[in-house]
Structure formats: structure tokens, C-alpha cells
Amino acid sequence: MRDKPYCNAPWIGLAYESSVGCKPCCEYNDATYDSTFKGRYTDYIKSDYLKNFKEMMYEDDMSKGCKVCIDGERINNDSTRLRMLRHKVNYKSNDNKLVKFDFRAGNKCNLMCRMCHPEASSMREEEEIKFNNANPIFRVEDMSDAYDIDLSKCEELSILGGEPSIDLEVRRWIDHVKDFDTHVFVTTNGTNASDKWFDSLKQLKKLTIWLSIDATGDANDFQRKGSDWKELKKNIIKYKKEFENQIKIQITASSINFTMLDTWWEELMELDIPLTSSAVVYPISYSLKAIPDKYKDVQIQWLEDWISKESKIFRQKMEAKEAIKLLKMNRYDKKYNESFKREVKKMDDWRNENINDLDYRFEEILNA
């Protein structure tokens, strides 16, 4: 057992999600453990769940649910865990104030991304109910206690979804936090660039907008079902014009878009917006581990050749190196590959699509 916990999240962090409940951070995800408290925040802070989570932080080995931070530290020596550890915490007290807060008002979304899940997309929820006879997701009936949480020490307030730009509850939440001296991070799929949405964002004193953009062209339209790259690109340019240095791109690296990275990377780079890549952890069907290494090695070589071009700016070279690290870290796993084949064929049937039409490499992978 450790003398001090390996992460401070259970004391100063919170992820409060309508479709999930509460947990110390949004990154935590462990399929072998009940990773969330299915209830309101007022009950969560008094729960055995939180007590047990704090005790888990003293274990010698970090939980598998902390993989996002573990990977982040291997890629670029940064993670939520490391940022949390910079804060002083009274481990014997329950009165530590929140430093990092992730708020999700609901799962209302206008897209049905392949690697997404019903808790984060109402469209995916409807799809699972229709084709998979799934039950509606759990929902916290009343999240009004979120408005009573003390945010006086909060440094990072993240607003996610669903898709925040189409959820009126998010507008109400922004109105609630607009006067706080807190850095607010809003994650959006970029499909809404309306003046009303922009006006709402501009109320925030310190703002960073994360655009969830995974690729360009057909790769984008396939992975993020319901998105149209031609229109989305126009919106991205509008975001860049309106918010200048306040926007960044978050790439979800999956077994779909990173298999064909060489078909879209250049166009995304031409937008000249800072970006970062993070690999899919769950579902395993869309993990990079599902793709045979020979296909990942092609992308690694392509990126290395791309980096070698003298015209590339330093920041973009570092972004490409980050993508290379993800590809190298997530080597092939047969179990993941078999899951990928099953899931792709199932969803192709549901959506009347064929991944083989997206890129020739998928036909080779599925038939191997």
C-alpha cells in the first residue's frame, strides 16, 4: 500500500453526468468495476462508493480504469492525474473543494458516432433500442443540486454531452457559471455554429473550445454518422474566425480513422488548429489494438515521412509524433480484432452501410 494516494481526483474532482451519475473523473472507466455512482451528487459525497474509491487510490498498482491517464503520461508526460497531484489535499477531510468538474447535462446528441455509446448519444440510444432490444439508459432524475456545488476553487470546468450546443440545459448551466473566474472547457462536435450558440459561449470569461473532429471527408462522415464534412469544415472555419486562439481539435483515434489516416491527415492539418489525439479505450471493437500491426506500421511510416518534410511547423510535427506513439502503444490483439469484425458487420447491417466501401484495407482486415 502507498503512503499517499496516486491520484487526488476522489477528493477534488467530480464528473456529474445525467446518464451515468457521479464519479471522481470522467476519464475513469473500468468494465470490471462499478465505475460510477448511480445517483445525485448530494448522495455521492456520503456514499460507500466514494469511500472505497479513495481507498483504491492507495493500492500499489493503478487501476485499469485509469488507463487514459496512464497512456497520456506515456505519450506526452501529462494527464489529469498529474495535474490533480499538484494540488494540496487534506486526505482526512471531506471538505476539500472541487478543482476539476466535468458536467454533462444529458445525452442529447445529433450524431451517432461508431465508437460512441448510448450514455453519450441519444441517437445511439435510439439505435440500440430499435435494433438490439436494449432498455433506455439510466438517468439521474434531478441534477438541480449541481447548482449548489461550491465552485469557488474550481480551476477546470468542462461542459460535455451528448452535444452541448443543442441541449438547452447547457445554456442554463453556462448562464449559471458565466461569472465564475474558472477556465471553462466546452467539447462540441462542431455541427452547430449558430449565432445564438456562439453568443452563449462568449459569456464565459476563460474559454477553450474542444472540437471533436476525427478526420475529414468520407472518414469523418462514416465514423461520425450524421456529420457532413463539407458543412462541418465551414463551421470549423467559422469557429476559428470567431474564437481565434480559443479552439483546439480533439481526435478520437479508432480502428476506423487511424487505419486510413493517410487519406485525411493532411487536410486536417491545413486548418492550422492545435490538436491532440487520444485512443479509444472502450468499446474494444474500435480500439487501435483491433487493427493488425502491418496496417498501423504503414501509417507510422507515412507520418514519419510527413514529419520529415521541411515545410511542417514544429507544433504539427509534435502532433504527428503523438499519433505515432498511439499507434506504437496499441499493438495488435486478436480478441480486439474479432470484436471489431463482429461489431462492424452488425452496425453495417443496422445502417445499411459497408465499411469496405470506405477504404480497401478494411476488406482485407475483415476477411483475414
Q: How would DSSP label each residue in 135-162?
A: PPPP--S--GGGGGS--TT--EEEEESS
Mean pLDDT of 288-311: 93
Q: Which range, of 13-22, 88-97, 313-322, averages the lowest pLDDT?
A: 88-97
pLDDT value of residue 31: 63
Taking the C-alpha atoms of residue 102 and residue 81, their distance in angstroms, rounded to an integer, is 14
Sign of torsion over alpha carbons 33, 39, 44, 48: negative
pLDDT at residue 48 tops 70: yes
pLDDT at residue 32 tops 60: no
Displacement of CA 7 from its chain's centroid (Å): 20
Mean pLDDT of 14-33: 83
E strand segments, 74-230: 100-104, 112-113, 156-160, 183-188, 206-212, 224-225
The Cβ of residue 283 has, within 10 Å, a number of other Cβ atoms equal to 18
Axis-axis angle for helices 314-329, 67-76 (nearest 10): 130
Domains of the chain: 9-85 (no CATH), 100-289 (3.20.20.70)
Taking the C-alpha atoms of residue 221 and residue 237, their distance in angstroms, rounded to an integer, is 18
pLDDT value of residue 79: 82
> pLDDT, tens digit, for every residue of 110-122?
999 999 999 999 9
Mean pLDDT of 45-69: 88
**Mean pLDDT (the chain, rounded):** 92
Strand partners, 113: 224
Residue 92: closest CA among 133, 62, 51, 31:
51
pLDDT value of residue 28: 83
Mean pLDDT of 249-263: 97
Mean pLDDT of 86-94: 85
Angstrom distances, CA of residue 262 to CA of 67, 259, 302, 310: 27, 8, 7, 18
Phi, psi (rounded to 5 degrees) for 347: -70, -30
Q: Which range, of 91-105, 172-186, 236-250, averages the lowest pLDDT?
A: 91-105
Taking the C-alpha atoms of residue 37 and residue 35, their distance in angstroms, rounded to an integer, is 7
Better-scored residue on pLDDT, 62 or 18: 18
> pLDDT, tens digit, for every residue of 193-217?
999 999 999 999 999 999 999 999 9
Taking the C-alpha atoms of residue 81 and residue 74, their distance in angstroms, rounded to an integer, is 13
pLDDT value of residue 141: 86
100-104 vs 13-17, strand pairing mode: parallel
pTM of the model: 0.90
